[in-house]
Amino acid sequence: MGAFGIDVSSLQGNVEWPEVKRAGVGFAMLRAGFGSGSIDVQFRRNAQECARNGIPFGAYWLSYACAPEMAREEARQCLEIMEDYQVAYPVCIAFGQDSVRYVRSRGVTVTRELATRIVEAFCGRVEEAGCSAMYYSGPDFLERMFDGRLREKYALWFAGDAGRAGDGDIAMWQYSRRGKVSGIDGDAGLDLAFCGEAGTGGEAIRSTI
């Protein structure tokens, strides 16, 4: 059994982190930002509160990169805003359907090779900084848009039915996007981590898959 955790962004508003801690959450994945330098307005507060309440965390960046060079720049910006914090879990790129729609709106066709190279560029920059790199994907996007070489190089944060995760070498599993956690108004992502620090889960966390 992995560590139980949550993933949050500004969509969850002001999270009551002491309540989250009491609910038994063992780690958090915090959205650091998106696109070209857009910092999540709740990231610094979330990071500070996680540190204050003893909740280890990692970070993710919603990529709108149109080319590998842009993905490297996104990674640099992500790392820059994380410099003041001790990050125990991976730094992750989320390049998915929303990313593809944005890139297409800029006149760029997203091929399997381009999507793969974007992830490689982001993760490569993260590893150059001495951090653990990870990429996020659901089963459909993983099969259609990412070359298999990614799973040989970087950790995978898998979203969806664990039975469709392939050979099972996932580092983190988002098993619900509509979880209910004490201290958070509305929904939060619920995760199990098989990487990073150990943690415990609590009965106050429940899934509404």
Q: Which residues are within 8 A (CB) of 46 and not within 5 positions of it... i.e. 6 or more apart?
A: 8, 15, 17, 28, 30, 57
pLDDT digits (tens, 9 = 90+) for 124-150: 999 999 999 999 999 999 999 999 999
Which own/partner pairs from 183-186 qualify as long-range (CB within 8 Å, at least 24 positions apart)?
183/15, 183/16, 183/17, 183/18, 183/19, 183/20, 183/22, 183/23, 184/6, 184/8, 184/12, 184/15, 184/16, 184/20, 185/12, 185/13, 186/11, 186/12, 186/13
Q: Work out the pLDDT band at 202, boundaries 50, 70, 90.
A: very low
Tens-digit pLDDT profile for residues 88-113: 999 999 999 999 999 999 999 999 99
> Quick check: 165 pLDDT over 70?
no
Range 47-55 contact pairs with CB under 8 angstroms and sequence separation of 24 or more = 47/82, 47/84, 47/85, 48/85, 49/15, 49/17, 50/17, 51/85, 51/86, 52/17, 53/17, 53/18, 53/20, 53/21, 54/21, 55/17, 55/20, 55/21, 55/25, 55/26, 55/27, 55/28
The pLDDT value given to residue 195: 74
What number is the average pLDDT over the span 5-24? 97
- Could you give the CA distance from residue 28 to residue 181 in angstroms, rounded to a whole number? 12
Question: What pLDDT sits at residue 76?
Answer: 97
pLDDT band at 194 (very low <50, low <70, confident <90, very high): confident
Q: Is 157 left (phi over 0), alpha (psi -120 to 50) or beta?
A: beta
Q: Which residue has the tokens 């965390």?
A: 57
**For a pLDDT cut of 90, what percent of the chain falls above it?**
84
Mean confidence (pLDDT) of the chain: 90
Is pLDDT above 80 for 122? yes
198 — pLDDT class (breaks 50, 70, 90): very low
Tens digits of residue pLDDT in 81-90: 999 999 999 9
Amino acid 161: pLDDT: 74
Q: What is the DSSP letter of 62?
A: E
- Is pLDDT of 28 > 70? yes
> What is the average per-residue pLDDT within 46-68?
98
At 63-77, the pLDDT tens digits run: 999 999 999 999 999
Q: What is the pTM of this model?
A: 0.90
Please name every residue paired with 136 in a beta bridge, in sequence order, or none if there are none. Answer: 94, 157
- Whether the pLDDT of residue 206 is over 60: the answer is no
